[in-house]
Chains A and B, each alone.
Chain A
Amino acid sequence: MTQHPRVLAYALALAALLVLTALAFAVGRFPLALGDLAALAANKLFGADYDVSATAETIVMQVRGPRIIAALLVGAALAAAGTAYQGMFRNPLVSPDILGVSAGAALGAVLGIFFSHSVLVIQLGAFAGGLAAVGVVYAVGASVRRHDPILALILAGVVIGTLLGSMIALLKYLADPYNQLPAITFWLLGSLASVAPRDLAIAAPFALAGLVPLYLLRWRMNLLSLADDEARALGVPVGRLRLAVVCAATLMTAAAVAISGIIGWVGLLIPHAARLLIGPEFSRLLPLSMVLGAAFLLAVDTLSRTIAPIEVPPGVLTALIGTPFFLWLFAGARRAWQ
């Protein structure tokens, strides 16, 4: 691909993100005029002194602001983790929860709901559960010697994920159907409705701690998409690099899941779309994938709170959008690989 379409892809993605962000602030049960938003932005960012209603300010700063930032953060984090995993596992069907991070986070959160109703406990449970599940999967995969290490990791992820899934099913069966079960279901479907600024302050550093190594290793990541022997013969200590990427992607996914619950499809769909636009070279792919992921989840979340009188879970919307997109990709299977 030449230089020109690459710049165009970045420019379009960023423009879409900006327009969507402005729209997301404007629409909702209490619509805001773009002029008011601009005035408020000028007041907050540049110390201007335009006249803006207190209600508008509260909506922007307390209600929509945190939610929009959360959508951007979660979308970008899931897309980045998905991009890393698809390259590393040399497989376009891989999503960030391939190693059981979502199943572990879900079990942690459900345990939190089961034993307490504190939001903080639920989030901590999700985060710790996600990290622990991937830790177990990695340890199992690494201990199965004399097998293809990638295959060992994926099989361990499937097996541990199934085990965690059955434990979640047991807890749902035992849960109080009037009180706990709706909370569990709500959490498993994912939602950004109840995100508070404090949640962002806790999750953002972990997401960033995962992103920094991925960004630093952005060129070397390409080598992980080669066969192990090839990458090693080119000078890469493959096992160590893979461990670093697993840690980074897991931190990002666990941080995202802890604030939003499980929102599927973003980490599967977006890296694909970005690869179609700009090619597989990771140092170019990662930023585009993150911008598209942020824009996609923001669009989905904005739809989820505006298209119906009640909120539609974003996980349902991503599946409704994701399935036809994926079928379209399969129709052109050769391109889908790339």
Chain B
Amino acid sequence: MAVMLEARALGYGYPGRPVGHGLDLSLGGGEVLCVLGPNGGGKTTLFRTLLGLLRAQAGEVLLAGQALGAMSRGDVARRVGYVPQGHAAQFAFTVREAVLMGRTAHISLFATPGAADLAAADRAIAALGIESLAGRVVTELSGGERQLAMIARALAQGARALVLDEPTASLDFGNQVRVLREIRRLAAEGYAVVFSTHDPGQAFLAASRVLLLARGGAVRQGTPGQVITGENLQAVYGVEVRVAEVDGARVCLPAL
């Protein structure tokens, strides 16, 4: 299994304000990594570093085996797709136009999208089953619909690794489940997926691996069963949590 996304002894953060250090990650096709941690725990900072939006403070990030530091923005975009947290749509682009923007790294500087790009955008829209939204404008979509459109845009990038920053934040319960289902399906198709969430139970549902970040840079990594324990969650979130089993599936029950 080829490694799509790798971090070696990665230090991330801002100059003079380190957030995390010594992180080793290796994610192949078909794997889903769920990143958990408290607010301000550095999830978004880590993601920005993995995407090359923030310079690594130490160590390095490798995309499909190549060092990210030496890549152009286009090279990065063709290797890792990004679904931002809460895309703020300000102009009334249609969903098809927005997904088409995912093709940027395949369209030369002065060109406009060609037939191949339009086909790729339509394939990405079809992959998420949102053909009925294609002509709608993004500013009029619900949060869940917009999240699916943003995932379609990331697919249109043609990258085999995907980074989703809190993809279920501010979605209703049904849409949260739909997004998790998409994450599982993408992994089954061979994508390497990283996503962050505030709900540790989602790791049991959708992830093959978990990275638990604590404030101050302490890190635990492993399978959901290894990492998501009452003890670990209490250490990171400061509240009492019990991990229970219901019909063979594990759930997190906070004690109030």
Contacts and interface: CB of A to CB of B under 8 A. Distances in A.
Contact of A219 (B92, B111, B153): B111
Nearest to B77: A235
A217 B101 contact: no
Contact of A237 (B73, B82, B112): B73
B74 interface: yes
Interface residues of A, number: 28
Given A227-B88, A237-B73, A219 B82 contact: no
A283 B107 CA distance: 14
A81 to B, nearest CB: 18
B94 to A, nearest CB: 8
A230 interface: yes
A279 B139 CA distance: 12
A253 interface: no
A222 B101 CA distance: 8
A233 B82 contact: yes
A283 to B, nearest CB: 6
Contacts of A220: 104, 107, 109-110
B169 interface: no
A233 B137 contact: no
Given A87-B91, A216-B110, A229 B104 contact: no
B93 A234 contact: no
Contacts of A275: 91
Interface in A294-330: none
B56 to A, nearest CB: 15
B109 A280 contact: no
A225 B97 CA distance: 13
Interface in A218-245: 218-220, 222-223, 225-227, 229-230, 232-237
B104 A235 contact: yes
A176 interface: no
B157 interface: yes
Contact of B82 (A87, A90, A230): A230
Interface string B101-135: 11011010111110000000000000000000000
B84 interface: yes
A301 B113 CA distance: 39
Given A226-B101, A338-B137, A232 B53 contact: yes
Contact of A229 (B48, B81, B94, B110): B48
A57 interface: no
A236 B102 CA distance: 11
Interface string A261-301: 00000000000000100011101000000000000000000
B87 interface: yes
A50 interface: no
Given A283-B112, A338-B139, A230 B84 contact: yes
A168 to B, nearest CB: 34
B90 interface: yes
A337 interface: yes
A217 B110 contact: yes
Pick from A87, A227, A230 the residue with the most CB of B within 10 Å.
A230
B33 interface: no
A217 B78 contact: no
A226 B91 CA distance: 9
B51 interface: yes
Contacts of A338: 91-92, 137, 139
Contacts of B183: none
A225 B91 contact: yes
Nearest to A228: B53
A217 B109 contact: yes
A281 B102 CA distance: 15
A31 B178 CA distance: 69
A234 B53 contact: no
A196 B206 CA distance: 71
B157 A234 contact: yes
Contacts of A219: 107, 111-113
Contacts of B77: 233-235
A219 B82 CA distance: 20
A289 B94 CA distance: 19
Contact of A280 (B87, B92, B112): B92
A219 B111 CA distance: 7
B192 interface: no
B151 interface: no
B53 A229 contact: yes
Contacts of A87: 91
Interface centre among A87, A230, A234, by most chain B C-beta atoms within 10 angstroms, is A234
A237 B113 CA distance: 18
Interface of B: 48, 51, 53, 72-74, 76-78, 81-82, 84, 87-88, 90-94, 97, 101-102, 104-105, 107, 109-113, 137, 139, 153, 157
28 contacts: A216-B110, A219-B112, A220-B104, A222-B93, A222-B97, A227-B84, A227-B87, A229-B53, A232-B53, A233-B77, A233-B82, A233-B84, A234-B101, A234-B102, A234-B104, A234-B153, A235-B74, A235-B77, A235-B78, A235-B104, A235-B157, A236-B73, A236-B104, A237-B72, A275-B91, A279-B137, A281-B93, A337-B91
Given A227-B84, A234-B104, A235-B78, 8 more contacts: A90-B90, A220-B107, A225-B91, A227-B88, A230-B82, A234-B153, A279-B137, A281-B97
